[in-house]
Structure 1
Amino acid sequence: MIHFKFKQLLWITVLLNRFSTEKCLALSICPTAIWQRNAVMIVGDDASLLRRPTDVYIDNNNSIYVLDSGNYRVQRISFNSTVGTTVINSSNGSNVNQFLSMNAMSIDKHGNIYILDGDNGRVTKWQQGSYNETNVAGGNGLGNNTNQLNRANGMFIDSNTSAIWIADTNNHRIVQWLSPTNSSVVCGSYGRENNQFMYPTGLF
């Protein structure tokens, strides 16, 4: 999933309110466009080999951040480059500087990287520059209490408040974390009604 910035989302919302979906798409894609059969590789070969990448993020400098889950790391690929630089290098485990899984990633306006570890039931924050890690959501084992997550798969960081919104997949709910000790269930339970979910996996 490519995460767009808040201002871009606002602009898209305004645009969709003024035009139909067909007209909106026509503004950016020529109706006679022809697609190449072969994809162009941006990253993933030689020095930039990836293993089970699960998420990407594009910052204001058009650098691409790749959540390289199979290698337990985050790779940054600068604009017009195909070689990645490792900005977070970890390993498999349950310590705060390790991951059992790397399901989603987000970056706040200060450049801090947030990584959702569904199997450890937590979100860790890695500060820009030093990339010192801290637990900012969950971390209390897998479960259904308000201070726990259960195999969560999706995450969104509010750029204005830094609130962490999480699709708590196996708990069938959306939760919000304002701080490591301040969390609440926003909506959801298991079912097919309009106010229920069945294994939600993402949000933005």
Structure 2
Amino acid sequence: MNNRVGVDEFLVANRNRTRLQTLFEHFRKRKLIWIIFSIILAVVIVVIPTTIVTRNKTKKEKISTATEITTTTSGEQLITSVIINNNTKWKQNASTIAGGNELGNELNQLDCPRGIYVDDDDQSIYIADNWNHRIVKWKFGADKGILAAGGNGEGSDINQLHFPVDVILDKEKKYLIICDQENRRVIRWSRQNSQDPKILISNITCSGLAMDNHGSLYVSDRDEHQVIRWQEGNEETVVVAGGNGQGNELNQLYEPHFIFVDEHYSVYVVDQLNRRVMKWARNATKGILVAPSQVSNENSNSIGVPIGVAVDHTAEILDYATTKAAIVGFTKGLADKLLEKGIRVNCVAPGPVWTPLVIASFPKEKNASFGSNYPIKRPAQPRELAPAFVFLAAGTDSSYISGEILAVTGGKQTA
């Protein structure tokens, strides 16, 4: 068989091969162009957001330096005193951002501060300066505050406050909204014109405030054991939590205190005298126990005296409470770690103590019976606690004691 290829056949085959090579080179160049384009596009996609995030991060870190909690939001946000999200930064070491110059009524002092509102836009914090009957504004990094409302002495006139316990800003941040507790009213105070306060709600023993995305105001009513929702222009208020009398059932509250409203309009309530935190979903007829998470006859009092509450972006509770179980565990764990360094760690667990905060927090009839349910039938005076601290701190008398919980509870047995 003749395997040789003729000249014409060779020319046809060679021409076809040239076309294939040309076509291959064409596609290889186009592929290279697409690869280069994809790399450039990827770089653009990565670099631009990184630049934006870096620039935003720089701004946020400035706020983080001045505040304990840095908050940033995008889109709709809740008008609450503290918003916690993915960008929140927690400082390892606390720093004083307001007060810290002993109690007093100068602008660099506070006397029994209660509720606060952090305004990231203005880089400042508003404080209900309870015993000074005023609201003060502290710029982050400032060495003294600015009078924002009240400051005209204790009283019930329109330009006075009487033991304010909480403060927030409205949705547009034009007004302060204040729990003027002992005057039994919620009052609005202009940030620009302090001469034009307006009473929003009367005959209410307000203990906490919050505002949702739509500008609806939520108010905890201590004496009626409920939380209401109010919107300007509507005469009627709506009960959103409690409202079934004083009690400890899931549909009841017992002197609610500070509150938090999340993006789903669920209301988290510090149910103070029930020593728990409750979550009431929108339109719910009863609440859900969220702190303490487990309650039993042996551990029915795991939160000491809850004061305030905030919720992070994952709906985890951040309960500002003296949680006895946590304090006990912390004391014992720290004692184990530090004993080898010659450091002893002990804890004093007090019962009811007669302090200015107690006087300001409860009506006279409750103050009259405060501590009467303890075996000694009265509250302790602060000076009666002092020897316990001195004993544990003095190396001569307690040098062999570490990791102990010293109960000063007027005869009440502790677990």
For 1:197, what is the secondary structure of its paired residue? coil
> Equivalent residue for 1:82?
194
TM-score w.r.t. length of structure 1 = 0.73
Deviation at 1:35, TM superposition (A): 2.2
Residue 277 (structure 2) aligns with: 174
- Please identify runs of 4+ aligned residues in structure 1 that moved more than 6 A: none
RMSD between superposed Cα atoms in Å: 3.2
Preserved CA contact (<8 Å) 2:256 2:270: yes
Q: 1:130 to 1:167 in 2, by over 3 A?
A: same
- Residue 4 of structure 1, aligned match among 66, 77, 81: 81
Aligned ranges for residues 1-204 of structure 1 at < 5 Å? 3-4=80-81, 6=83, 9-10=84-85, 14=87, 16=89, 35-36=143-144, 39-44=145-150, 45=152, 47-62=158-173, 63-91=175-203, 99=204, 101-158=205-262, 160-178=263-281, 179-188=283-292, 189=295, 196-204=302-310
Instruction: Check the 8 A contact 1:64/1:79 in 2, yes or no.
Output: yes
Name the CA distance, whole Å, in 1 between partners of 2:269 and 2:230: 17
Tell me the amino acid that sits aligned with residue 265 of structure 2: S
Q: Please identify which structure carries the higher strand content.
A: 1
Distance across 1 between alignment mates of 2:172 and 2:215: 12
Post-superposition Cα deviations, 1:80-124, rounded to whole Å, max 9, x if no partner, equal 222343242312xxxxxxx3x211111111111111112211011
Indicate conservation of the 8 Å contact 2:279/2:290, yes or no: yes
Quick check: 1:43–1:83 contact (8 Å CA) kept in 2?
no
% identity of equivalent residues: 26
Residues 131-140 or 180-189, more deviating? 180-189
| Cα shift at 1:187 | 2.6
Gap regions ≥5 residues in structure 2:
1-78, 98-122, 125-140, 311-415
Partner Cα separation in structure 2 for residue 199 and residue 4 of structure 1: 20
What's the secondary structure of 1:170's corresponding residue?
helix
Q: What is the CA distance between 1:180 and its match in structure 2? A: 4.3
1:145-202, Cα deviation, whole Å (9 max, x unpaired) = 00011122221111x10000011112221111112414211131499x8x93112111
CA deviation after TM superposition for structure 1 residue 64, in Å? 1.1
Amino acid at match of 1:59: D
Matches of 1:52 and 1:131, distance apart in 2: 26
Question: Which structure is larger by alpha-carbon Rg, 1 or 2?
Answer: 2
Take 2:273 and 2:196, find their aligned partners in 1: how far apart are those partners?
33
Task: Specify the SS of the correspondent of 1:16.
Answer: coil
Secondary structure class of the residue paired with 1:132: coil
- The one-letter amino acid of 2:198's match is T
Q: What secondary structure, in the 3-state scheme, does the structure 2 residue paired with 1:48 have?
A: coil
**In 2, are the aligned partners of 1:88 and 1:131 still within 8 Å (CA)?**
no
Q: Which is bigger in relative contact order (C-alpha 8 A, separation at least 6)? A: 1
> What SS is found at the alignment partner of 2:182?
helix
Contact 1:114 1:123 in 2 (8 A): yes
Q: Does structure 2 conserve the Cα–Cα contact (< 8 Å) formed by 1:76 and 1:85?
A: yes
Decide whether the 8 Å contact of 2:158 with 2:197 is kept in 1.
Answer: no
Residue type of the partner of 1:113? L
Structure with greater proportional helix content: 2
CA contact (8 A) 2:258 2:308 kept: yes
TM-score by length of structure 2 reads 0.38
The number of residues matched between the two structures is 180
* Contact residue 271 and residue 277 of structure 2 kept, 8 A: yes
Asked if 2 retains the 8 angstrom alpha-carbon contact of 1:155 and 1:167, the reply is yes
One-letter identity of the residue aligned with 1:35: D
Question: Partners of 2:246 and 2:209 in 1: how far apart?
Answer: 19
Q: Can you give the 5+ residue segments of structure 1 that lack an aligned partner in the other structure?
A: 92-98
